[in-house]
Amino acid sequence: MKRRRLIQMGATGLGATIAGVPLQLLAQAKPGGTINALVQPEPPSLMMGITQNGPVQLIAGNIYEGLLRYDEKLNPQPLLATSWVTSKDGLTTTFKLKPGVKWHDGKPFSAADVVFSVDVFLRKTHARLRASLEAVDSIKALDPLTVEFKLKYPFGPFMGLFEAGTMPMVPKHLYEGTDFLTNPANATPIGTGPLKFKEWVKGSYIQLVANTQYHQPGVPGIEAVYFHVIPDAAARAAAFESGKVDIAPGGAVEYFDVARLAKLPGVSVTTKGWEFFSPHSWLWLNNRKAPMNNLKFRQALMHAIDREAMAKVAWHGFAKPATGPFNSNIKYYSADTAKYPRDLVKAKKLLAESGYKGEPLRLLPLPYGESWQRQAEMVRQALGQIGVKVELQATDVAGWNQKLNDWDYDIAFTYVYQYGDPALGVSRNYTSTSIAKGSPFNNVEGYVNTRVDALFAAGARAIDPESRRKAYLEVQQILVDEVPVAWLHEINFPTLYRSKVKNPISSGIGLNDSLARASIS
Amino acid sequence: MKRLQFLLTRVAQGLLALLLIATVNFMLVHAAPGDPVSVMAGEAGASDAQFVAQLRHEFGLDQPLSTQLGRYLSHVAQLDLGFSYRQQQPVVKLIVDRLPATLLLTATAFGLSLLFGVGLGALASRKAGSWLDSAITVVALVFYATPLYWLAMMAVLVFTVKLDWLPGFGYSSVGAGLHGWALVLDVAQHLLMPALTLALFYMAVYARMTRAAMLEVAQMDFIKTARAKGVSPGRIQRHHVLRNALLPVVTLAGIQAGGMIGGAVLTETVFAWPGIGRLMFDALLQRDYNLLLGCFLVTAAMAVLFNLLTDLVYTLVDPRIELS
């Protein structure tokens, strides 16, 4: 009732806005309507404090919230926290929380929930955040609406830690003193977000409905979202084409289908909403083994691979060649590095100097669909042209993980999220302290360079942006010279949607926290 | 008495077979590279030693393999299929939840293929050499040779995307809130394409088999005798020829029925039918050991059960066959 009145008022009051969305826009949009989206694969659970894979974030990012949102330039925006102040030395940040926020079960949200979520719950369950929390000395509730974070040392990316997937707020009253992993409450997630969990029919769909008590007027703009589980990629494309599904998130349909479906009447496509994740692909080169331990061999590979053709053929244009270890979406990216254009003559010369004897090498493709398979074939062909013999190894996701966990590979495809800041998503792949078996996301190639270690450490701990920029510029130049891995592409995952869905993406994490802010015209 | 003894022996043999199957499955599943923890860590996009160790401990994967096997078998002996750590639910509940959808699909397909297969085969044999016979044979051959996956995809493209006659995915219309007959009709519409797709292959096999067997039986002396006695041609076809020609069909139907739980992976995948086949396939990719083993065991139990039933049905179709 209240919402409707606000909207009517907005229609008459020119220029007024709610949360940056012009009220006239809200007034035009029907408050209500249902969005049908695809999710692939079916998530294991929706408790985002425990599981954070892609499908979980896509759905549960509407249920759970972090203290902040981030726009497409990754600037922090208020959400559960309305304002924040950082001390001069960069060691203390104090957040003011929004008053009157309620969990979906009606209990009030307060500073105690923040302290519990970060210091107790996520420290135990969230591997990625745990690494960043190393820098955090203490988290205190100064009063029910004020939280203070104290750091052990200045931590450059600190203000980038507060989105829902990185630091989701979980309800203290349901989890305190329980075994988090087996708590029955995990089956019925309770958050503060604009959509509430309604129903999950395993193997079929997950239904979320509007949280009418949401703390931001005018949101949610829709009544319900259904996430349909359709396991076959061609069937997902058919479901979108037939109009039964309104939104196909990035990766839900094969790229040759994206190009085709985007041309249908009433269909739009966008690559926005992945700025925070900045997916970046490369070939792991096992630096521990010959010939990959030879710089000239690695440089020869860089000159041999045809990144432009791969972007055009395998990605249908939804990727652009990467210039180095940093994705151009993340902070302190620089293009001022050595270049490796495709040059077979130079590649052959470098290969001859490297002393490669023609021994066959194993290439491990990524088992995530057609685009990756085609890229593997193109890499094999390109390397064959300069005389490097490559055998493709067939594998599934579990086998791929296992081989990288055990360093049992020669050359392997991967792509990694960079989380907006080099200290969060880049340094882990190149610093010698991140060499450890058992994870496919750390320094899997086994590259060791003390100067690189020092520069990444300096970049992470500096407070002023200028000294961070300097450290990161030098580290990019060193890495691109030394080619510890062969960078391939910045991937732009395309989101397909019916044009009747207005404003489906309004943040740097895209659909994950935007769907409730969309409307249907 | 003899029949009871036969049954008891077969049940005992079946249980022994299941125990062996469970053991072999366990070893096979653990021999595949990767484990559920590495998959979950991989999906999370970040992991560390603490995360991995914590999960392995919780799943019991830090125990020696022999201990895990012993524990698994003793649980199975108590009809406890264990817990799916990935889905945080007991395996039995996950399987039972998916069972109705799969049985509806496979039983419908079974009925359709048997009915139309035997019917068309009988028709073809009766009109042997005619254009109708040729037509049935050609159609059966085409369905026999066409990959199920392609057929399913084409059906979706034609009947869902182009013509918009039938729903292309799922079990019923999501969010429609239907009840009673409206719901039955809705499910039937969703069922039609997957059931037909699944039925076509066996329908073709039954048709060819029935036709061949009936033509063979029709040459036999007792048919001539029946004809000489003045039995009507229709009655000869139904009671003398068809009944004697059914044995091979029963054998094959037993195999098809035994695969009713696990045999529809492809169809369920293409049509997003929420059945056991998909549960099993996902469990395989995710190395969800307990769930995968549970699905395998239920599937194997069905196969054993239907083997036994097939032997019993033989004696009904042909009373000359004795159980021993």
Residue A464: the pLDDT is: 85
Rounded to whole angstroms, how far apart are CA atoms B167 and B160?
6
Residues 155-194 of B with CB under 8 A from A: 156-157, 160-161, 164, 167-171, 174-175
- The dihedrals phi and psi of B194, each to the nearest 5 degrees, come to -60, -40
> Does the pLDDT of residue B76 top 50, yes or no?
yes
Q: Do B50 and A130 touch (CB under 8 A)?
A: yes
Q: Do A399 and B34 touch (CB under 8 A)?
A: yes
Residues 226-245 of A with CB under 8 A from B: 226, 228-232, 234-235, 238-239, 241-242, 244
Amino acid at B276: I
Q: How confident is the model at residue A14 (pLDDT cuts 50, 70, 90)?
A: very low
Average of per-residue pLDDT values in chain A: 91
Q: Do A235 and B282 touch (CB under 8 A)?
A: no
pLDDT in tens, A269-301: 999 999 999 999 999 999 999 999 999 999 999
- Give the predicted TM-score (pTM) of the model: 0.89
Residue A16: the pLDDT is: 39
B79 CA: distance to closest CA in chain A (Å): 23
Whether chain A has a CB inside 8 Å of the CB on B38: the answer is: yes
Question: Is the ipTM here above 0.95?
Answer: no
| β-bridge pairing A92-97 and B89-90 | unpaired
Residue B1: the pLDDT is: 66
CB A349 within 8 A of CB A292: no
Q: Do B38 and A401 touch (CB under 8 A)?
A: yes
Nearest to B169 among A44, A239, A397 (CB): A239
Q: Which of A315-329, A380-394, B242-256 has the lowest mean pLDDT?
A: B242-256
| B145-151, Cβ contacts within 8 angstroms, sequence gap of 24 or more | B146/B200, B148/B197, B148/B198, B148/B201, B148/B266, B148/B267, B149/B266, B149/B270, B151/B197, B151/B200
Q: What is the DSSP string of A158-197?
A: GGG--STTTS----HHHHTTS-GGG-GGGGS---SSSEEE
**Range of A409-413, A420-424, B11-15 with top mean pLDDT:** A409-413
Residues 348-407 of A with CB under 8 A from B: 395-403, 405
Residue A12: the pLDDT is: 36
B113 CA: distance to closest CA in chain A (Å): 25
Closest CA to B282 of A44, A252, A368: A44
Rounded to whole angstroms, how far apart are CA atoms A55 and B166?
28
CB B298 within 8 A of CB B286: no
> Does the pLDDT of residue B192 top 60, yes or no?
yes
B168: CB partners within 8 A, 6+ apart:
A235, A238, A239, A242, A244, B156, B159, B160, B161, B193, B271
- Cα A493 to Cα A49, A272, A273, B13, B260, distances in angstroms: 25, 8, 9, 55, 39
Of residues A120 and B264, the one with the higher pLDDT is A120
Residues A219, A276, A218: CA angle, nearest 5 degrees: 5
Q: Do B281 and A241 touch (CB under 8 A)?
A: no
Q: Span B208-221, mean pLDDT?
A: 92
Rounded to whole angstroms, how far apart are CA atoms A135 and A150?
9
Give contacts of A399 with chain B, Cβ < 8 Å.
32-34
pLDDT in tens, B250-275: 888 888 888 877 778 889 999 999 99
A398 CA: distance to closest CA in chain B (Å): 5
Q: Span A348-352, mean pLDDT?
A: 96
A39 CA: distance to closest CA in chain B (Å): 12
Give contacts of B94 with chain A, Cβ < 8 Å.
202
> Does the pLDDT of residue A331 top 60, yes or no?
yes
Q: Do B34 and A398 touch (CB under 8 A)?
A: yes
Rounded to whole angstroms, how far apart are CA atoms A275 and A160?
12
- Cα B157 to Cα B154, B162, B164, distances in angstroms: 5, 6, 9
Q: Span B190-197, mean pLDDT?
A: 93
Residue A29: the pLDDT is: 39
Q: How confident is the model at residue B2 (pLDDT cuts 50, 70, 90)?
A: confident
